[in-house]
Every structure is written in structure tokens, then in C-alpha cells.
Structure 1
């Protein structure tokens, strides 16, 4: 039996076993720790030397993975820290910030109080006494210097020492030291902010303004009504009873002084005219008699006494004519030029017929106000002044009158303050005489009257039209780079053009001055949240 093949197989098996044993020994030697070489407690090679010498696998990662270890963290982990993910929600509903086994939960508590930072600390996911940590918290808002909050223990949390003002839109930086180790953590939250480039703002008609000092008048707003200027309004009365034969003007017509408004047939006027005619004829006869008697006296044919009697009769007739003319003039009649009963009712002033109270064929009385004619080149504005404001509102103060129904305003002054207070209204009346060259101020029009009480220099002011209502705030939209963010304001006095800013915006900050409602609309589209 030939055993040569069998021997070759055994030789090959033995060779494989020997090679395997040698390789195993080499691997075990490579993995043997390098520490304790001299028995004096020296540490092993530094991380820098270890990375320099290593070229194989380490902790399951080879060099070909491209993530070389550095100070216990791979480059991949370093990049993950630089671009930290959004914090998760903590047990108290806040932002849970983690670094290693340590965590801080940042909350903004505002139930029944002004918003306050409250921080909770954890180790290995379990709450720990916050007094064991030294924590600092700083926020950074757009366009404002950083604000640091001092934190003190209250119960199981650290409480901030200041109110977290709205909007809650800022970067939060937390530095916490626990068990000798310092942790740097943070997050950013955005609220009431939109992004608009310069081109987008120009297309929307949004112009920027700069908050700064201004001279603002302190104003008192009154409600009022436009009325006829009573000094330039007349009631046209016939002063003679009669029958209406013609009506030549209607309400709304513009008339000139002396223009005929209506014609009335009046028997009373006829009597007056007849009396005048009789007096005129008597005067004519008396004048002729006097002239004859005077010539006869001059020729010494008649006595002087006859001439003097004729002269006295002529003067009496002249007086009677003058009396009849005055009576006729007082009735508004003129000398007869046809029918003695024709009475022409004329406008006494230039103006507009505001009321007509007669019609053709109607019988009117001598005291009936049949027309009202008003000169509307000026009107009165009468505004109610409450008793508490009587000490501030005086004659001569400048005012701005604004129409409630349309865009119109005019500058004027208070011309009159009533000396009495109404028994029912408990108000006095301020009267303004308003020029009305275009006729836009119609009697009966409701208006508002802004009375300038005093002027005051303020440190920071913005355009009144830029202020918008957002939630329960009065805001303007500050401009920071390409961002527009709501700035809740504490407002002071206003004159309708500018409004004082007592808090919320600093001098020099830019804001959306015109068409700020567009920014508010964009904010609504963005669905800005109130995220804590």
C-alpha cells in the first residue's frame, strides 16, 4: 500500500497549524498593553503619539473610514457637536440640552407671572440638586447687546433674576460647571421674525426709518360735527303775506346777493306801493304850488305868507314820500314796474340754498322762513369738551380737524369756548372756524378734533403709521440684516405723525416705516410661533 499521498496531506496540515500558532502569538503580543513597563506608575503613550503610531483598526474603525480619533472623539463627533441638533423636549416641557451624561433643561415659566427662566439639572437622565451646578445663562437678540441672567436656586430649579421680555426670539448660551467639569451648551429660537431682502422690501413699498429724537405735541382728541357758520347763514322771510307765483331757486343752488329766489303776489305790498305813489303825486303838486307862490311873491303880486305856506306843504309831502319809501324798503319791495302786488324775494348774501320751504301756489305768512341761504366758504366745527379737560382747552390752541368718513384734514385754531356747561351733557363746546374753499366740509359731517395741548422733546420716537397691533402688543418691525423682527413697544405721547417710544427700541435702530402692514402679513403667512 502506497502511503505517500497520505503523508503529504499530514505535512500540509501540520504546516497550517504551525503558521496559525505563530500568527496568533504575534496578534496577542500586539494587543498587550504598553503600560507598567518600569513599575513606577508612568502613564502610557499620549494620544498624540498613539495616533501617530497607529495605522490599523482601533475601536472598530479603520483609517480607511476617514475618521481618525482625536482626544477621545472622532472628527465625525466633532462635526456633530458644531452642528448640534435641535434640543429635545425635557420633562418640564423645556429645551433639554445634553453634553455627555450631564443635561440642563431650560424653560420659560410665565403662568401667573412675568416670563422667567427656570433651569433643571440632570445626570445620567436623573434630576440632581441644582445647587451642585454653577450655571450661567446669556441670551443674544438681534441688534442688542447680550443679556446675562443671574440664577439662584428655588426649590428643584434655578430661577432667573430678570423678566424674559417678548418676543422670545434669541440665541441662548448656557455654561454649566458640575463635578469639576464645564459644559457649553445652547440653542436658538425664532419668534415674530421674517426675512425680506432689499429687493422684496422695495417691491412691497416698505421703506425704512430710524428711531430717534423728535418734538411731539401732546394732543387731546375730541369728537365734533361740522355746522353752518351762523354768522354767515340767513333765514329768508317774506315779511309780507301772499301767494307764491314763481319759485326760481331750489335747495343746493348757489346764489348771488340780490338774486331773485321767488315771486309772491302780496296785497299788502300793493297797499304800500299805492301809498308811495300817492305821496309822490302830492309832493309833485306841492312842489308846483310852491314854485308858483315863490314867483308871485318875488313879483310882489302875492304875500310872503302864501309862499311860506306853499313851502311848508311841499316839505310835508316830501316827508310823506320818504316815509312811504322807507316802509317799502323795509319789506324788501322795490318801486312798481308793472303789477303792484308783485313781490320779489331776493337772496341777501352770496351762498348756497340749504333749505327751501315753499312751493308754487302756496300761501305764505309774513314770518315764514321760506329759504335758508348759507355762505359755506367758511363753516363751524363744534366739539364737546369734558369738564376734566376744561383747564387744558382754551381759545387760541392749534387743532387738526379730521373727517371720519374720508381722508381729509385741516389745521385751524379754537376761536371760541362756551362759558357754560350743558346741563344734560356736562360738556362745554369748543368752536373752530374752518375755511372751506372746496366745499368738502359739509354741515352735519362727523369729525375728530386733535387739540395740541403742549409740545415735548422726546429721546426716541417712530412714525405713528409704522406701529402695528400684534397679539396684545404695539410693535414696529426692526430691521437687522435681512431680518425684520417685531419689537413690542411701550408708547408715550403722540401727535398723529410721531409717537414716543419709552421702551422696546433704541435710538438709531432701523424699522419698517411705511407699509409695515405688509411685514405683518408676511409674518402671518410664516405662522410665527410662540415657542418656549
Structure 2
């Protein structure tokens, strides 16, 4: 029993020494297939060419011993599985020791170690996509060390600098970036309520002319309607009477003043004339104020047929958005007959959901884009409602937009985009560089004259840059603009996924 136990211990020690030697050897840069060709005879190369194994893997043979390498990916991440054979018969996984060095473009070499699992040896790492790499295999069986190597290419395109220039492919470098994710919210253009004016006649009368119509653009001071008003006629009459009286009292005052200075008349007559002149001035000023309060210039009319005609003028430039006047009707002085809105600035009522209320704030810049056609602008948040709508369960944010060009029309639907936050990420790529290949989101990494697909795990995006969580390292170059040209070239080459 002691002798048998010592034999087992010696065997374990021998295997450990061999595996250690393999690991030390494989940690060194592995030779590429071309280098291996320079150190082997043509006969040895022919022997190292893999065949097809019973499980459709790559089969490598040395004398009676064979190693079948497969990539298994059904229901699990891709993994190396190695089957051992002797004279075509399957051996238990403990019958040999395997180590594999995998090299791919732009990344350090990987050393795969294997452990027994069922009837195969299982690799200790995931075989990342794409499966385009150079592999060096070292096997130990009964103290004999065997080596094989092979290469396979997937998702790779060769393109010279001249061809890059002709196809317009832009080469960018992955690196740190600040991602500004945008929150998109629906909204609608509404009138600026601070620029809406309601027009009333200010004098009662009969409508003799209607010139302003619903939807019409009007300028400040433009006549909207004409009213025939007895009240206006009376006020104008009072003004002209007061004006005549002022002229008479002034002449009387000047005459009495001269007579008093010449000692012809008594001072009492002079003082009475002065008082009557002052009263006439006050009466004229009062009549003038009454007319100006109605928007009528005292000297704008004369006694005659038009003395009772009163023009209702637009107080601002804008659009008539409401009209309540018809020809021939009798109006009261406080009747609302027109509503006019100045649309040189407009508001957008943006719908804010409760979950987004912590993102939006006063003074925040907002990009606004119409949904119907290509119109966009930028404004700032000027108001956020403090209450949640009982039926809609949303709040409203107001964004003020400059509209001097008249491109925004109340009632238009729009989308408002605002920056939700700023996120610093260690690696990001241009969104325009992302292509879809099979079920991957990929970029084409550049390695000398080659471009090769790199499947990415993506994070935050702001529509221009996207965070890369896995698949690309800082400083790696990739195809940015016109990267679809590389995808087209890959399609022409008939890209496959055959392991």
C-alpha cells in the first residue's frame, strides 16, 4: 500500500511539473501561424492541420492521441470544451492535461486552463465574440508534450488608407466623455397669456362698420370697427363749447386788465374776468381729458356729420383670436368685442410626469421640436405648476419661445428635450458608429490595416455619444462616420459564424 501510494504521489508531482512548464511557456508571446511555419517542415505543418472531430470541432492528432476543440454556446456563454481520444476512442477528461493561449487583434493574449467536467475538459473563461483569433494548444499525455496551432477569422475587413479615404470612413478614438442623457416630453404651443388683450368699445353706440375679422393679423392702432355714439357727440360738443368759452373769457380778461391798469374800470371787474377765464380753462381741460380717456384726440374732429363716429383701434399688434361684434348691433361700453394676442413670443405647455419632476427646474434650457414638420428652437423653463392634474396626473412646465419669425403657431404639438443629468464615463463612442450585426451592437475596431467587429455592452447615451461598459478599451480606434461601408464590405465577404 505504501509503495502504491508513493507511485501515485510521484505521478501527481510529474503532472504538476509538466503543467507548470506549459503555463510558463504559454505565458510568453505565442508565435503566429506564420512564425510557426518558419520553424516547422512542410510535413509537420500538414500534420498540424486540424480535421473535423466526432463533435464537429477542430481535431488535432499526434500519433494515436487526438484532441478535439469545440466552442459550446447553447444556453451558456461561449466556452471551450476539449475531448480527448486515443485511437479514435473517447478518453476520460483526466487522461491528459490541456492549456490554450488565445491571441486576438488589439488585446493581450489569454491563457485558458481546463478542469474535468463530465466527459470533457472545460475552459475557465468565456470565449468572447467575435471568434476571430489565433490559438496555440499544448497537451500532455503520459509525459509526452504535444503542440498545435490554428487561426480563424470572423467579422474582419481589410481596408487600406486610400480605400478609407475613398469610402469616407472616419476613424475615431474611444475615450472618456461626458454623457448628457436627454429627457423627452410632449407639449403644445399656446398663447403667451401676458400678451393677450381684450378690446371693449368704451362708449355705447351703434356699429356702423366692422373691419377686423377672426384670425386676422392687425397692427397697433389699426381700426377694427366704427361705432356711431351719441355719448361721443355730446363729449365733443362739450369740448368745443368749452374751447369757445375759453376764447371769450380770455378776451374779456385781457380787456378788463387793460381798463383796470388805465384806471378806467374797477379792480372788481378785472378779478371777475380773471376768475371766469380760469373756470373756462378748467372746463376745457376736463372736456379734453374725457375724450383722451376714450382714445380720441380732442382736435381730431369737427362739428358735423362725423362728430358721433368713434373708431375702435387695436391696442397692440397681433392676431384676432376672438370676435363678438356684428354690423348694426347696439353696443355697451364694457362689452368684449375682440380678443387680440401678440404672438411675437409664445409659450409651450410641456407635460411633466411625476417621476420626472425632480429633473426639470426653472431656468433650464430646453430644445423644442415640432412633431408635424422641421421646426425647432430653444427656450427656458419659466414656470412649473405646483399641482398635479386630477385627471391627467401630470404637472405642466412652461417654456417661453421667441416667435418673431412666426414659425410657431398655437395648437402645434411638439417634443421638448432637456438634459436630465451629466454623467462622466471612462469609455464612450459615437452613436453614429454603432452597427447591428446578428444580435449584437458593434463597432469596427481598427488594427493596422484591419477592421474587426467588436460587440459592445452599452450604457448611458445622449443621442450623440454612448457609454461602453464592455467590449472596447480607452485609446482603441474605431470606425466612426460611414461605418456602414465596412458592414457592407463584410457582407460581400460572406461573414460566417462557424465553429
CA-atom RMSD in angstroms:
3.7
Q: Does 1:374 align with 2:343?
A: yes
**Which shifted more, 356-365 or 493-502?**
356-365
Residue 475 of structure 1: how far off its partner (Å): 2.1
Residue 418 of structure 1: how far off its partner (Å): 2.5
Partner of 1:169: 132
8 Å CA contact 2:324, 2:336 repeated in 1: no
Residue 143 of structure 1: how far off its partner (Å): 1.0
8 Å CA contact 2:343, 2:406 repeated in 1: no
- The partner residue of 2:232 within 266, 273, 285 is 273
Alignment CA distance shift 1:281-1:342 (3 Å): closer
Partner of 1:393: 360
8 Å CA contact 2:288, 2:298 repeated in 1: no
Residue 144 of structure 1: how far off its partner (Å): 0.8
| CA shift digits 1:175-213 (9 cap, x unpaired) | 221233223234333333333332332222211001122
8 Å CA contact 1:244, 1:263 repeated in 2: no
Partner of 2:3: none
TM-score for the superposition, normalised by structure 1: 0.71
Partner of 2:86: 123
Q: Does 1:146 align with 2:109?
A: yes
In the alignment, the residues of structure 2 paired with residue 343 and residue 163 of structure 1 have an alpha-carbon distance, to the nearest angstrom, of 87
Return the index of the structure with the highest Cα Rg.
1
- The partner residue of 1:463 within 430, 449, 453 is 430
Q: Does 1:485 align with 2:459?
A: no
Alignment CA distance shift 1:433-1:151 (3 Å): same
In the alignment, the residues of structure 2 paired with residue 146 and residue 363 of structure 1 have an alpha-carbon distance, to the nearest angstrom, of 94
Alignment CA distance shift 1:111-1:80 (3 Å): closer
In the alignment, the residues of structure 2 paired with residue 422 and residue 467 of structure 1 have an alpha-carbon distance, to the nearest angstrom, of 41
Q: Does 1:198 align with 2:161?
A: yes
Partner of 1:264: 225
- The partner residue of 2:171 within 180, 189, 208 is 208
Alignment CA distance shift 1:318-1:373 (3 Å): same
After TM superposition, the structure 1 = structure 2 runs for residues 108-507 of structure 1, keeping only pairs within 5 Å, are 108-214=71-177, 216-225=178-187, 227-228=189-190, 230=192, 233-235=195-197, 237=199, 239=201, 245=209, 247=211, 251=215, 256-258=219-221, 260=222, 263-267=224-228, 270-295=229-254, 297-298=256-257, 299=259, 300=265, 303=269, 306-307=272-273, 310-311=276-277, 313-315=279-281, 317-329=283-295, 335-336=300-301, 339=306, 340-341=308-309, 343=311, 345-346=313-314, 348-349=316-317, 353=319, 366-369=335-338, 371-375=340-344, 378-402=345-369, 412-436=379-403, 440-441=407-408, 443=410, 444-454=412-422, 456-507=423-474
In the alignment, the residues of structure 2 paired with residue 364 and residue 175 of structure 1 have an alpha-carbon distance, to the nearest angstrom, of 107
SS in 2 for 1:325: helix
SS in 2 for 1:393: coil
8 Å CA contact 2:349, 2:398 repeated in 1: yes
8 Å CA contact 1:247, 1:360 repeated in 2: no
SS in 1 for 2:154: coil
TM-score for the superposition, normalised by structure 2: 0.75
Residue 310 of structure 1: how far off its partner (Å): 2.8
SS in 2 for 1:273: helix
Residue 468 of structure 1: how far off its partner (Å): 2.8
Alignment CA distance shift 1:486-1:422 (3 Å): farther
SS in 2 for 1:458: strand
Residue 342 of structure 1: how far off its partner (Å): 5.8
**Which shifted more, 504-513 or 490-499?**
490-499
8 Å CA contact 1:106, 1:120 repeated in 2: yes
Alignment CA distance shift 1:495-1:325 (3 Å): same
Residue 413 of structure 1: how far off its partner (Å): 4.0
In the alignment, the residues of structure 2 paired with residue 211 and residue 531 of structure 1 have an alpha-carbon distance, to the nearest angstrom, of 30
8 Å CA contact 1:276, 1:321 repeated in 2: yes
Alignment CA distance shift 1:279-1:92 (3 Å): farther
8 Å CA contact 1:401, 1:447 repeated in 2: yes
Partner of 1:531: 498
8 Å CA contact 2:359, 2:420 repeated in 1: no
